[in-house]
Amino acid sequence: MTYQDLAGFQTVQEARAAIRAGIFSGHTAGLAPGKLQCNIAILPEAYALDFLRFCLRNPKPCPIVGVGETGDPTLPTLGPDIDIRHDVPRYTLYRNGQFSEEVTDISEHWRDDMVTVALGCSFTFERALVAAGLPMRHVDQNVTVPMYRTNLELESGGAFGGKMVVSMRPLSGADIPRAVEICTRYPLAHGAPVHVGNPAAIGIAAMDQPDWGKAVTIHHDEVPVFWACGVTSQNALLSAGIPLVITHAPGHMLISDIEEDAALPIWKP
């Protein structure tokens, strides 16, 4: 099944069923419009409290939207039938702080001491930006959004810390104020941009060489706009050197049953 086939699905049930069945393992940008998409971190309970402290101290890149019970692969606050072992298109496994492998199902890796943490994702506000007529270049080009390491320091929590990761979307100068206004309403999906313009000012040396995702076209009349990114949490997990951590592969999110706009009255500043 291609991305174009799945993109035609209008319900989260259809999209998640295709993912769970193993017939779709692509990126989830633009899928199940209106549903909250989530970054995922799965780690042993012994490290979970410090990781949650880290996320609470860095809410821009790591906004917590759901936490599972120890050893329980369900996330009932995000959907009554979610099983985190099967419902992400692609997972990344890290062992002792090093990349181990990518898989499309984690049943054989699940343990009774595992805790799932779901974090908000920038894909959530993209629908609102598109509705306002703002371009999402990575969606148009059918690639994973480009993500970059920066020199922006994070607040530590136990063994977790490091530098922020950002995602980038090019916009015209005239569109930037509208984008800021829209995204400010979604603090649980990273909120407003953290930087606009010169990439070198936040430690990015080469826009055509993202650390994750794929480079996208930036037109001559556009400016790179950077948002805090949930991959930040993956960097923090790696730096802690945990024996086993499971995350979503960048751009391959959990699609929840939660309506994005249903939370707007709570999220508005």
Q: Please, what is the Cα angle at 24 between 19 and 26, to 5 degrees?
A: 105
Distance between CA 180 and CA 108 in Å, rounded?
42
Instruction: Kindly give, in sequence order, each residue whose CB lies less than 8 Å from that of residue 262, ignoring residues fewer than 6 positions away.
Output: none
Tens digit of each residue's pLDDT (9 = 90 or more) over 45-56: 999 999 999 999
Sign of torsion, CA 181 201 171 230? negative
- DSSP category for residue 88: S
Contact 39, 80 (CB under 8 A): no
CATH class of 1-257: alpha beta
The size of the chain, in residues, is 269
Distance in angstroms (rounded) separating the CA atoms of residues 91 and 85: 9
- Of the candidates 16, 52, 42, 39, the one whose C-alpha atom is nearest the C-alpha of residue 110 is 42
Q: Which amino acid is at 34?
A: G
Q: Is the model's pLDDT at 203 over the cut of 90?
A: yes
Residue with tokens 């606009």: 196
Q: Minimum mean pLDDT among 126-140, 175-189, 201-215, 254-268: which range? A: 254-268
Q: What pLDDT, in 10s, does the model give residues 162-187? A: 999 999 999 999 999 999 999 998 88
| Cβ density class 222-231: b for 16+ within 10 Å, e for less | bebbbbbbbb
Which letter does DSSP use for residue 219 in this model?
Answer: -
d(Cα 195, Cα 127) in Å, to the nearest integer? 21
- Sheet with 222-228: strands ordered across: 147-153, 163-172, 222-228, 195-196
The token duo for 197 is 């313009």
Distance, CA of 186 to CA of 70 (rounded, Å)? 28
Task: Note the pLDDT tens digit of each residue in 70-100.
Answer: 999 999 999 999 999 999 999 999 999 999 9
- Is pLDDT at 269 greater than 70 in this prediction? no
The residue ranges of every structural domain in the chain are: 1-257
Q: What is the dihedral of CA 82, 61, 91, 262, to 10 degrees?
A: 20
- pTM (two decimals): 0.85
Q: For residue range 25-70, what is the model confidence (pLDDT) as tens digits? A: 888 877 887 888 898 999 999 999 999 999 999 999 999 999 999 9
